[in-house]
Structure 1
Amino acid sequence: MNFVRLFNDIKLRNKLSLTFITVAVIPLLVSGVFFTGKLRDIMIRDAFKQAADNVERVRKRTEEVIKVPLDISYQLSNDSRMKSVVNRSYDSYIEVIQTYRQYTDIRDYVRLYEEVSAIRLYTPNPTMLNNWEFMQPSAETARAEWYKAALDKKGLAGWGFIQDERDQKYYLSIVRKISLDAPGEDSVLVINVNTALLDSTLSQEPFLTMIVDDHNRIVAANRPNLYGKNLAEVHADHSMLTQSEGSFDAVMDGKASKVVIARLIPPSSWNGLRVISVFAESDIFRDVNGVIRLAALVIGGCLIIAVLLVQASASLITRRLLRLSKHMSKVGTGSWDAYLDLDGKDEIGQLSHRFNALVGRLGQLMGEVEETNRQKRMLEQRQSEIKFKMLASQINPHFLFNTLESIRMEAHLRGEEGIAQAIWQLSALIRSSLEVGNGKIPLSKEIDMVRCYLELQKFRYEDRLQYKLEIGPGLGEVEVLPLIIQPLVENSIVHGLDQKEDGPTSIAIRMNPSEDGGVLVEISDDGAGITPEKLESLQRKLQEPEEAGQRIGLRNVHDRLRLTYGESSGLSMESQEGKGTRITFCIPKEGGSHVLRDDC
């Protein structure tokens, strides 16, 4: 008790000084942890840089290798002599053999270019003989995915891991359709890339390096046991299977690893390759892990001792502060006659005396607090109005960009047919958007903007998109917020139609009177739907506090509805994976009371 009384008489500043002196070793330990972490970061950064440089070097070398068969395929696709050989109808095998002897271009390419290991042309000409250069496609070959893709891509080159019928081995190959004069007689050219040349490019890489096709099949690697396997078979992280390029953390064979991916898409090709480099963190830190473990033990021991000392010192202070806190709680409940008597001559003791004087003045301060609260409510109302304007202004540029991109891509794929109509639709939509202010607009005008947007998207998707607009009688003049339906329709197209594998997608927009005289709005589709996990995550994000830079279209509309009509007037979402999504919200009667009925 004497020690406690003596400690209470010490000034609070002296108490803190004593505590800081006792635990002065902690900054040194923190410095050790900091510099150890910096060392790890430097090693990882250097390894990342080395891996990125290696990947870029491999990508360029691979591009040089595959450029040769790509050029050969282009030359053969325009080779009139080869086309005359294929188009010709032969009367005897001798005539075929003589023609093969005279045409030596394919054999010359294989002999002159080490990048090419074999060339074969699949042609449906029944009068020709199979000589491993000119071949008639078997039924199995004609059903192969790569064969059908080559015929569908209108002369573009494709890259795949294809089995050679001569040695039954798989090679990285380029496939390309060769257009002939006779209708329906198109041939497919296949050129095998020299696998040994690709492997030699990777053999000197210090980290695991692979070249994979667009189906994640390993077409070359500096580990021979990986050749021909799928990335999923070697316990690769999901990000490695889906990410096209970049650097990221991953797990491979149960080890934390770093991955660097570079994309390689040759000119005039419908697909491409990826160069992947993987290195495990354990391989980098093997030499320093022992030192780090020892440092961790020392740091941990020092921290435990420091924590015990700090807690012992803090308990003596907080015990008295707890008494002060209890009396402050009494004052918080409106008990103005609370009186505190703490022993000690330090700052806490002085604080107790000043606390008693402070209580007497709280009555006067309450009036000032009420005035401050009134001003605060006015400020929050102003902020809500500004926030609403900011939310509303964020939709137009985003939608305009997506629409223009859609028209650009469609114009690129289709030429100039139908572009005039699409531009007219877009002009009308832009004009309507520019005329929209921060106030409300009739529901009929909002529906006209949605219809214009859907017509633009139908221009892009054609028969894949069907839509239906239903508006109840007398609802066209109801005043609503501008641009609250279009983002939801856009969400149905982006996440419902685009992610649906096949078949058309129907979108229905229905507006019917609600029980309280308002408008019940429903946007539904039969698209790809949302998984339960993603739906739960999306609903959680809609309810979370706003974070700058993390806004999405649904969140934008959700916030605007709540800011205008009250907290309970947000979006309601229902979805089943593979069946579609349904989004509803309610606009109260006369557009805007913050007090909403249950049916809204």
Structure 2
Amino acid sequence: MLKTVRSVRTQILILLLAFIIAPTTIISIFTISKSTDMIEQNAMDLMETALGHSKENMSNFMNDAADATLTIMTNDAIIGPILKMDKPRSVQQSIAVANLLEKYLYELKVHGVIAKEIAVINLSNEIIYSGASTFRPDADLNWYGQVDRLNGKPYWGSYENNGKYIYVARKVQTYIKSADRFEPLGAVLISFDENDFSSINSSVKLAHNSEILIANGDGQMISSSDPTLVGSSLPAEMFPLARQGNRIDLSPVFAQNEASRLTVYDTIPNSDWSIIVSSPVDDVLHTQRSISRIILLSTGLCVIVAFILAAFLAHRMTLPLKQLSKEVKRQIKSGDFSFWPLPASRRQDEIADLGQGFYRLVADLNETKNMMHQAEMMKREAEFEAMKSKIKPHFLYNSLESIRMLAVINKDPVTADMIKSLGHLFRYIITNQKNNITLADELEYLHSYINLQRLRYEDRLKVEIDISGEWMNARIQKLVLQPLVENSIEHGINRKRGAELIRITASRSEHGVLLQVWDDGAGIDPDTLASIRASLEDPQSNKDHIGLLNVHRRLRLHFGEPYGLTIDSEPGVYTSVFVLIPERE
């Protein structure tokens, strides 16, 4: 038999692995890998092209702006009255200089250099503006040191004053012939709005969601095609950037889910700035994902065809087992296990022998199960009858009735009521009524028991019964609720000072009617609670809590699973016993 099963499994695996799945999977993985590399390389080539165009645009713009500052520096009509005069300039001179600066600002805009302002600053940080008047020399104490270090060459920087600005500045100096040296006079500065500056690259063709970033020598983003990225910084050890082939860590700039990006970069001539072109890997590989889906779909179709062929072969070889499984499921669903012997199979092989052997096994188990169930029912019924026999004699009830009448004659109503309730309890127990009674009958008996306990405990016992009339005809066995209430009194109320309340309720559940007996007594510690729960689930348990076990087992034997008791408790707070019975009249 084992040899036959192993042979079927081997044939299916050989068919799948040798002819379809293994080669198809290898080819698919190879194709996807190659297509990914090609698409990524094409994306890098496009980004290199965009980087070159952007670098050219930025260089041309920055050269034009630097030339504009040089033109202003060499115009003595502007520089003379502001930087070279020893005495204060007149109002007419200031107006004339301002007009010349406004003229230069206009000419810059005409030639495509969209400047925001022009500023001339002397060594005392006095400024003559034309344009927006946003630059503040005292905001960055380092800017003039950088300008002075370059000794007349253009210096590019950025600042923020109710907006983000880019500027180019040059030091103005004069030659002292007698001392054969140059003396600094001040600086000329032209600034640009960051939005206008970033628009220089608007003509550069970029892939979807790609970005062009301009970073200064400290790694701070001073311009970007995405304004939200301006001001963020990269790690300082990466700057100044150079073409070293290593990728840049862009995680400080982009959000965590966007930091995986393809990047190319280069330095901008005549500055310490760097230009970076970046694109999200997910967007670059969007086309590759479509190709991968097609490849995976094709592979899946091939695998499906392979499984169909293998299923046909397996069907031919395992048909008797399928028939056996179908018959077993049908019989189990109907609850009838006595379905042996069946007609012999036309195939006389190991599988047919297995089926006949299984039928015989199920028949034997079914017979054994029925015998054990009958024995257990007889045992529980005998236990219950033995319990009733202790209080069954009719003369006891008759004697109690005589005593009650005597108490009435002697005008002792309290005693008479106690004896009446006790007599009702005995009548309920010894009656020949079947165990399967209504919930209304059980509650009537429970009221008599509660009346007895109230006479005993007086104001220390409060019992609330909140059960709707729709449940009164539900079937239940005798002596189910009384043992639970007795447990609540003896093990809950009596063991906790101030405890007095027992609540009995009913509600609908998935499997029937769920009764609850709740008390605010001493509760049950976790170890004892675990022991009780284990006893309820163990049919062979003979531990303590005989009352609970007796009730649970009688319900389980009479109604079957999942009916019976469940218990929940919190030490010192409450104990709750749930009784699940069928919802039928």
Taking structure 2 as the reference length, the TM-score comes to 0.40
Q: Which has the larger radius of gyration?
A: 2
